[in-house]
Amino acid sequence: MTEPKRIAPAKKVANIKYAVRDILSVAAEAQEKGLEMLYLNVGDPNIFDYKTPEIIVEAVSRALRDNKNGYAPSDGIPEALLAIRNNAEAAGIANIQDVYIANGCSEGIEIALSALCNEGENILTPSPGYPLYTALVSKLSLEMNPYFLDEGNGWQPDLSDMAERINDKTRAIVLINPNNPTGSVCTADTLRGVIELAKRHNLLIIADEIYGELTLDGARHIPLASLDHEAAILTFDGLSKAFLAPGLRVGWGVLSGREDLLRDYKGAVAQLCRARLSSNHPEQYAIKPCLSDKSHLPALREKVQKRRDITVEMLNAIQGITCVAPKGAFYAFPSLDVPAESEQEFIADMIRATGVVVVHGGGFGQRPGTSHFRVVFLPPEEILTRAYTKIGDYLSENL
Ligand SMILES: Cc1ncc(COP(=O)(O)O)c(C=O)c1O
């Protein structure tokens, strides 16, 4: 018998960080001290005063009662695929080559990148951006290739930075619009610039538009794929955010562009969908009804808008903080006047001292030498007001 050895995890896992949840170990220290905890770290509406629309609950309950619990077709149930296609076409997307449903956009994006990239290749990811993408870069043994968003320009993607970073191993550009964590919404010019670069270099664009229905200040979200019907674009959306049902784990991808250029890639995506049998089945019955009844959206936007207004006003009144007003989603990414090297520790100390849980900017990527943090402004006004007051008091004592 050989000596038993510890089971070694894969080395690449060490690089996979998810600051939004990793921060909870710091929060636990504050909780142990008996502080009132104010969680502004997770973009989950359902832990606050938002409720999944009844039509979703009804559709899923009915599917469960009707015994729709077998495996679904690997790409998704036909009625939902058709509803997604019609919804995308109504938003101006044409030349749709494929639609597939996944266990959240998270799985859909993982399938998309797994079907695309070989080890050692790279994808351009937004910095700041949602950490799923950098986690997948590690998981798929790709090279990191972040491009910056420009804070001085309302956090629009910096197109010249993007252009400079494209090399012969680049396979895709990821665009998160509206963005997490900055809440910025891309202008038509920015979108056209991204499409032009992608076409020039033969790249797939991953258009993560999960917050597309959640714009503020009357800002207009333009679906990237509506601007060009030839470019290779995979647009993601789902039920987690605007439809207030993240726990259902329903997301989808819509592949559009020239058929001849996308044929092989579409086959690879379908192969990976089959390899995991199917995504959640009963939950898919919610897709058609909720894409045809978005009546909850105006009230939702109005509620989030009020919370956004308090956020921008109160944070900008704090010395040491400057906050670009988000135009979409439910995140703000204010800059913090502390040296970049001490950002993470400063935020951790602030959480320990105040019980207000925010996430340090480094968890999303940012320009070297800058410091930020992300707040989720979903909570009710009185919680936000208390949280920002505590942050203000802490900064006035510690900056
Ligand atoms: C930009 C972005 N993309 C994707 C996701 C994940 O979505 P899903 O719940 O559909 O997996 C999130 C979740 O916060 C997100 O912020």
Residue 395: CA count within 13 A, CB half-sphere: 21
| Ligand 1 geometric centre to CA of 88 (Å) | 19
Do the strands 170-176 and 122-127 form a parallel or antiparallel pair, or are they unpaired?
parallel
Beta bridge partners of 254: 99, 235
What pLDDT is stored for residue 43 in this prediction? 94
The three-class DSSP label of residue 259 is helix
Q: How far apart are the C-alpha atoms of 153 and 11, rounded to whole Å?
A: 38
| Ligand 1 geometric centre to CA of 132 (Å) | 8
Angle at 150 (CA atoms; ends 124, 234), nearest 5 degrees: 35
CA distances from 391 to 71, 169, 228, 348, 352 (A): 48, 43, 44, 12, 12
Q: How far apart are the C-alpha atoms of 297 and 149, rounded to whole Å?
A: 28
End-to-end CA distance of the chain: 60
| Ligand 1 geometric centre to CA of 293 (Å) | 22
Topology, domain 11-51+296-398: Aspartate Aminotransferase, domain 1 (3.90.1150)
Same fold, 11-51+296-398 and 54-292: no
Q: Which residues of 196-226 are buried (b: 16+ CB within 10 A; e: fewer)?
A: ebbeeeebbbbbbbbbbbbbbeeeebbbbbb
Extract the residue ranges of the chain whose pLDDT is less than 50.
none
What pLDDT is stored for residue 39 in this prediction? 95
What pLDDT is stored for residue 19 in this prediction? 79
Domain edges within the chain: 11-51+296-398, 54-292
- Ligand 1 environment, Cβ below 6 A: 43, 104-106, 130, 132, 176, 180, 208, 210, 238, 240, 246, 251
Beta bridge partners of 99: 254
| Ligand 1 geometric centre to CA of 107 (Å) | 10
In angstroms, what is the C-alpha Rg of the chain? 21
**Residue 70 tokens, joined:** 């077998």
Q: What is this structure's pTM?
A: 0.97
Look at ligand 1, atom 13, and give the residue with the nearest C-alpha. 43
CA distances from 341 to 33, 344, 346, 369 (A): 27, 8, 9, 8
| Interval 208-261: pLDDT, tens | 999 999 999 999 999 999 999 999 999 999 999 999 999 999 999 999 999 999
| Interval 11-57: pLDDT, tens | 988 888 777 877 888 999 999 999 999 999 999 999 999 999 999 99
304: which residues sit within 8 A by CB, 6+ positions away?
Answer: 214, 216, 330, 377, 378
The answer to whether 183 touches 333, Cβ cutoff 8 Å, is yes
172: which residues sit within 8 A by CB, 6+ positions away?
Answer: 113, 116, 117, 123, 124, 203, 204, 205, 206
Q: How far apart are the C-alpha atoms of 297 and 299, rounded to whole Å?
A: 6
From the alpha carbon of 20, which atom of ligand 1 is closest?
14
One-letter amino acid for residue 215 of the chain:
T
Domain 54-292 has CATH 3.40.640.10: yes
